[in-house]
Chain A
Amino acid sequence: MKLKIILMAMFLVSLFIVILIAIRTKMPATVTVTTFPQAYNCVGLIDEEDSFTVEIMVNTKKSFIDVIENIVDASICNDNEFLRLKPAEIKLCSEPLYIRGNKYFLYCFVFLIDFTPETEISFEINPALLQINYSSGAQIKLNIGTFSYYKYQSFGSAVLSVVKLRGVVNDIDDTKTLAAVEIGLRNDSENNLRITAVKPLDLNLLVSGAESVVSEDLEFKSADLIADILDKPYYFFAAGTVDFSYRLEPNENISFLFPLKYHQLYSVNKLGFIVEYESDYANGKLVYDDFTFFQTNEYSRKAIDELVFYTYENH
């Protein structure tokens, strides 16, 4: 009798464990993903492979979305442009986030850019859709914002050095983004150099040359409003004059604050840039690799309200 009871108890416990495992491992029927659109940009050398990371929020850990082996191919594209990507890594990169009361897991999708030009080239995709095809036949297509990609022969310059970099970060229409960049330059040559332009390497931005100022004597913090620093109203979307001119004496070292104008508003937190200059002997340019000016851990209410949620069958 006792043996029967023990066997029955063992059977019930085993059944309970099996049911529990079945419930826990059951794949949900659908999976919902979303991402915050932003200005992605990447600057690289012609002979180097570049990578970039997209943060994608997924409402379950049990889906086909985050299994790298399931991916057949990936690309950034729109109706006119196409750039092939190679998935390199997918990993959880935060504790769960709660958006509108729902739990989301933040995955970092790291892609290598499968593009090897032989000459300097710029590749600007606006809007940029991230398309991933899976072995099950499923395809996800997310609007990730814009993508700007630039390839150069070399970084730096033999006659000009960057000796300071700092960003001014403002909330523009509830979007935390770069409002200006402070760049320190040093003339390493024995001749005068004339700085003729500073060009940010992102399709959404240009430098307002006419409103750029020498920043040596300006005291400001990265979170200060650009209008307060310049001590006059500043308009982020107005057409600006890109022309800039400054004569840099041999060995002179000076910093400038370059306010930024936006063609369209996406958060920009890292940026490469070009400084163009003229000397008595030749014209040249200094290309600076993308530099991360800031990172934020908060998403504004507006950014959350504007999120687009994509739901797919969970194969």
Chain B
Amino acid sequence: MKKALMVIIVILLSFGINVKAYTKTGHPDISEIVFKNKGKLLINMTSSELKDGYSALSRRFWGWRHYYMNVYSEADYIGDVIFARINRTAEPIEFDYSLKETNYIERSIKTVGSISGSFSGKIKMIDAKIQGDFRREVTKKETRTTIEDTSFSVVLKPNTRLVYQISGEALVTNGVSKYYIFGITMKKGGWEYIDIITVYYELFEETLQ
């Protein structure tokens, strides 16, 4: 049994299986998405919804065809807990928190199907086309490093937990695509990108049961 397990692990490793943290959204840094109006994440789409998307794509001789399901659908998201500290002792704990430099994720990309891997580069072209078509009245940073001191001192009372968390607003765009060569479908799959627009930081203490 152990040998069989080892063989399976070796096979999985040899195929380069990428193990990532599971989230309800399918995006590792975004634990929850709530659409403000209507919208649906790729992870929640049924196979028939995806099939309808593929059916909407007309055949072409060569190159990509894209079908959009959500375009810049506004949503609220809950992101990472930056840190949480628990005091289970009988004495208050004083500690200092300091964060010097942060790399923020501005765009989270997910792909499924046979387009995975190489498709991330295509997302930029899709977004440029959509931006042209929809003419959003904004200019957006796509990646960012913030060099900023974030520091605070906290006295944590016994049986309390201090949480420093981010949430925010995002735009969700997703769809399905096919790649044709001589009119034959060579690749097809679903894709989704979530643009983080605003990040809100919250610090709060809560009493433990």
**Chain A residues near B (Cβ < 8 Å):** 50-51, 53, 89, 91, 93-95, 97-99, 106, 108, 110, 155-156, 161-167, 169, 176, 184, 186, 188, 221-223, 270, 288-301, 304
Contact = CB atoms under 8 A, between A and B. Distances in A.
B174 to A, nearest CB: 19
Given A53-B147, A293-B200, A222 B142 contact: no
Residue from A51, A94, A298 having most chain B Cβ neighbours under 10 A: A298
A166 B166 CA distance: 10
Interface in B170-209: 195-205
B29 interface: no
A243 B122 CA distance: 56
Given A163-B205, A292-B150, A222 B200 contact: yes
A110 to B, nearest CB: 5
Contacts of B203: 162, 164-166, 291
Q: Closest 7 interchain pairs by CB?
A: A222-B200, A163-B205, A165-B203, A301-B137, A298-B138, A93-B145, A164-B204
Nearest to B131: A98
Interface residues of B, number: 37
17 contacts: A53-B148, A94-B141, A94-B143, A97-B141, A161-B154, A164-B204, A164-B205, A169-B198, A293-B200, A294-B199, A294-B200, A294-B201, A295-B146, A297-B140, A297-B198, A298-B140, A300-B137
A99 B139 contact: yes
A188 B205 CA distance: 14
Contacts of A294: 168, 198-201
B141 A297 contact: yes
A298 B199 CA distance: 11
A296 B154 contact: no
Interface string B6-20: 000000000000000
A134 to B, nearest CB: 22
Interface in B63-89: 76
B151 interface: yes
Contact of B201 (A163, A288, A293): A293
Given A98-B139, A164-B204, A295-B198, A91 B152 contact: no
A91 B103 CA distance: 13
A249 to B, nearest CB: 15
